[in-house]
């Protein structure tokens, strides 16, 4: 009986430690961001195409609004050719700005910088910048045409740098400065996800004492799986997000503040 009680006490302590290891504010380490996958654009004969976008985009590059279907974030796109190395893409939702991309190809045509801006449901603006290298031969038409391998993030706006986790008795809460949040249990069931129109629910599963799996769904369909592992010393965590729609994986680390 004493051994059983001792085992229960030790187990309870281990569970409490596991639940609290992720508690706190975590800041993304931009130096450790990694994009496993590629981006593919073409702009030829006045038509812009994005084969790796969700949903895929095909629109006239005439500086006019054109309809987008199948996206929870936008219902219109406007593609403007600035010159032979620069293209600006603006998305709208219900007539209001939703997001934008500024693509700038280097003079030698071998690299491209992407400046992105998006508007959150809470009315905030999130920005990010990254560069990519051309993979394989250049496509025909405009210099953005071809396949690109994105590199690490060069910068991200302050409201997208931190995420806060707090354990509950049987689950976890998450929130960030951009307005995203959830409260869920470690039972694999779906719970509401707030702040992102592209995510309906989230389900949590504990893999081991320091590893958590988040499954994101949109209208019942799995769109992404996030693996979060807290380091043994509790000072950092490693994240790997599998985008099930675009078949890419984004990896990064975060440091405890």
* pLDDT tens by residue, 75-124: 999 999 999 999 999 999 999 999 999 999 999 999 999 999 999 999 99
* pLDDT tens by residue, 23-35: 999 999 999 999 9
> What residue segments make up the domains of the chain, in order of their start?
22-34+161-256, 35-158
Distance (Å) of CA 167 to CA 32, 200, 215, 241: 26, 21, 17, 21
Res 158: pLDDT: 97
Q: Distance between CA 28 and CA 158 in Å, rounded?
A: 10
* pLDDT tens by residue, 115-165: 999 999 999 999 999 999 999 889 889 999 999 999 999 999 999 999 999
Res 14: pLDDT: 34
pTM: 0.89
Q: Which two tokens stand for residue 206?
A: 């504990």
Q: What Rg do the C-alpha atoms of the chain give, in angstroms?
A: 21
- DSSP collapsed to 3 states, 221-237: EEEEEEEEEECCCCCEE
The CATH code for residues 22-34+161-256 is: 2.40.128.20
Q: Distance between CA 69 and CA 101 in Å, rounded?
A: 18
Q: Do domains 22-34+161-256 and 35-158 have the same CATH topology?
A: yes
Res 249: pLDDT: 98
The CATH code for residues 35-158 is: 2.40.128
Q: Tally the residues of the chain.
A: 257
C-beta of residue 99 within 8 angstroms of C-beta of residue 93: no
């Amino acid at each position: 009986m004493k051994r059983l009680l001792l085992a229960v006490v030790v187990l309870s302590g281990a569970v409490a430690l596991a639940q609290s290891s992720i508690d706190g504010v975590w800041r993304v380490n931009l130096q450790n961001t990694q994009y496993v996958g590629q981006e593919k654009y073409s702009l030829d004969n006045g038509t812009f195409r994005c084969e790796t976008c969700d949903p895929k985009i095909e629109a006239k590059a005439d500086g006019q609004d054109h309809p987008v279907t199948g996206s929870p974030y936008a219902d219109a796109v406007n593609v403007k050719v600035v010159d032979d190395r620069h293209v600006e893409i603006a998305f709208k939702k219900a007539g209001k700005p939703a997001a934008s991309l500024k693509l700038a190809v280097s003079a030698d045509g071998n690299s491209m910088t992407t400046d992105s801006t998006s508007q959150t449901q809470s009315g905030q603006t999130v920005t990010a910048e990254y560069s990519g290298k051309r993979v394989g031969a250049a496509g025909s038409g405009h210099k953005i045409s071809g396949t690109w391998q994105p590199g690490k993030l060069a910068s991200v706006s302050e409201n997208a740098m931190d995420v806060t986790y707090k354990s509950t008795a049987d689950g976890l809460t998450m929130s960030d400065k951009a307005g995203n949040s959830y409260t869920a249990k470690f039972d694999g069931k779906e719970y509401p996800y707030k702040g992102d129109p592209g995510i309906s629910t989230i389900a949590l599963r504990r893999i081991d004492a320091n590893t958590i799996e988040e499954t994101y769904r949109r209208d019942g369909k799995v769109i992404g799986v996030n693996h979060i592992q807290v380091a043994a010393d509790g000072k950092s965590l490693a994240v790997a997000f599998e985008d099930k729609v675009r078949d890419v994986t984004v990896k990064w680390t975060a440091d405890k503040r």
